[in-house]
Amino acid sequence: MAHNGGIINAKKIRAQLEADGCVFQSTSDSESILNLIALNPAASVEEKILKSLESVEGAYSLVLSLSGAPGEDGRRAPAKLVGIRDPHGFRPLCLGRIGREEDREFVIASETCALDAVGATFVRDIEPGEMVVADRSGLRSYRLRKTAPRSFCVFEYIYFARPDSDIDKLNVWRSRHNMGRQLAREYLEKVKKRGLGLVDIVVPVPDTGIAAAIGFSAESGIPYVEGLIKNRYVGRTFILPEQTARKATVEMKLNPIKENLRGMKVALIDDSIVRGTTSARLIELLRRAGAAEVHMCVSAPPITHPCYYGIDTSIRKDLIASILSEDEINRRIGTDSLHYISLEGLLKSVDDTQGERMCTACFHGRYPTDITENY
């Protein structure tokens, strides 16, 4: 089983299973799901899964590969490929197909870019609260017994998903480009009100800031310039557990192009500010490279609350926007000015102006599920 998400009542489920004699081999919440399925007395594997997930709360996009178990007659049941998306649809999951209609093979993945990599054709997104089962007889769809309002994680569009993916009929690159355009509109309005001068160049923080920076440049008319080069062999920094490790990794990850930055007033476009340590280091890099001014523009609103649905954004006291005002953050990270996209502007960028389809709890603390009992 592969699991993308976070089970908010995993400790409660684990305690119940251990009381029933279940022995765990890890601390993963995914193991709780596997044990629930294995111990469920239902006759069919489909019913085992559906019944087991009735007690699971939180985010889960699951893919299970099931080898056929031998029956009483010694014959093995057909192998199955199963994909499940929680009722809120927090995390992405899609269905693809390889081959012709008569000898097709199904593929299940988080993002459509994975289908491209294996030569599969995109069929459709797996719906929130849906389970699909593929075997030799074809494809079947089931509905989970729980229902819930759609709450797709908007951070997938901001940062996590690959820009070459389409999720729930929305292209990730286009969404980030829209965020950049909206951010530029809000930035220009603020600059005009305060009677401030414009910057000389727009510089992205690669890679997730690139599409937003292109959109910002297109909307504002300010030239787009590469000012930072990314080391392709260093992973994402904000999910590292220790601050010293994050700082050391940032120093290895990005290097400035001094020729493009020297003497320039820079609009630095980044996808988000979580703890602020990465941002402060970036500003320091640009100033050492000769930038005259650095104005940071962020395509996510201030992150003030933790995520319990599969993104490690830490506890509240470590989230810089939960303890400092925008002006205080500006001084802490060393920028000449700081501009966040508004929540309304973000939702407009992902075609959810009413805020009915996206989970935005990390910006305001109104969670789609009840977390108080579990945390």
Predicted local distance difference test score (pLDDT) of residue 250: 65
Any domain includes 153: no
Does the pLDDT of residue 374 top 80, yes or no?
Answer: no
Are 216 and 140 within one domain?
no
Distance between CA 139 and CA 4 in Å, rounded?
Answer: 22
Predicted local distance difference test score (pLDDT) of residue 203: 98
Are 313 and 216 within one domain?
yes
- Under a CB-based contact definition with an 8 Å cutoff, are residues 356 and 150 in contact? yes
370: CB partners within 8 A, 6+ apart: none
- Alpha-carbon Rg for the chain, nearest whole angstrom, is 23
pLDDT tens for 79-88 read: 899 999 999 9
3-state secondary structure of 360: coil
Q: What is the mean pLDDT of the chain?
A: 91
Which long-range CB contacts under 8 A does 236-241 form with residues at least 24 apart?
Answer: 237/278, 238/274, 238/275, 238/278, 238/313, 239/312
Predicted local distance difference test score (pLDDT) of residue 236: 56
Residue with tokens 């594997």: 45
Distance between CA 222 and CA 264 in Å, rounded?
Answer: 12
Summarize the confidence of residues 240-252 as an average pLDDT: 60
Residue numbers of the domain that contains 10: 2-148
- Counted domains in the chain: 2
Are 139 and 194 within one domain?
no
Are 274 and 320 within one domain?
yes
pLDDT tens for 29-43 read: 999 999 999 999 999
For residues 133-155, one letter each, b for 16 or more C-beta atoms within 10 angstroms of the residue's C-beta and e for the rest, the string is bbbeeeeeebebeeebebbbbbb
Are 202 and 338 within one domain?
yes
pLDDT tens for 126-166 read: 999 999 999 988 899 999 999 999 999 999 999 999 999 99
Side-by-side strand order, sheet with 105-109: 105-109, 94-98, 121-125
Predicted local distance difference test score (pLDDT) of residue 316: 82
pLDDT tens for 339-357 read: 999 999 999 999 999 999 9
Are 246 and 191 within one domain?
yes
pLDDT band at 235 (very low <50, low <70, confident <90, very high): low
Any domain includes 158: no
Q: What single DSSP character describes residue 55? A: G
Are 124 and 177 within one domain?
no
Does the pLDDT of residue 104 top 90, yes or no?
Answer: no
Are 231 and 113 within one domain?
no
Any domain includes 317: yes
Distance between CA 7 and CA 158 in Å, rounded?
Answer: 22
Are 234 and 137 within one domain?
no
Distance between CA 334 and CA 207 in Å, rounded?
Answer: 22
Residue with tokens 């400790």: 11
User: Residue ranges of the alpha helices (H) in 10-139?
Assistant: 10-19, 29-39, 45-52, 112-117
Predicted local distance difference test score (pLDDT) of residue 137: 86
Distance between CA 185 and CA 150 in Å, rounded?
Answer: 29
Final residue in a domain of this structure, among 118, 148, 178 = 148
- Under a CB-based contact definition with an 8 Å cutoff, are residues 85 and 61 in contact? yes
CA dihedral 234, 237, 240, 245 (to 10 degrees): 70
Final residue in a domain of this structure, among 117, 148, 179 = 148
Lowest model confidence (mean pLDDT) among 221-230, 266-275, 305-314:
305-314
| CATH number where 59 lies | 3.60.20.10
> Taking the mean position of all CA atoms in its chain, how far away is CA 61?
13
Summarize the confidence of residues 193-206 as an average pLDDT: 92
Summarize the confidence of residues 160-181 as an average pLDDT: 97
Per the model's pLDDT, the better-predicted residue between 237 and 364 turns out to be 364
What is the reported pTM?
Answer: 0.90
Q: What percent of the chain has pLDDT over 90?
A: 79
Are 174 and 270 within one domain?
yes
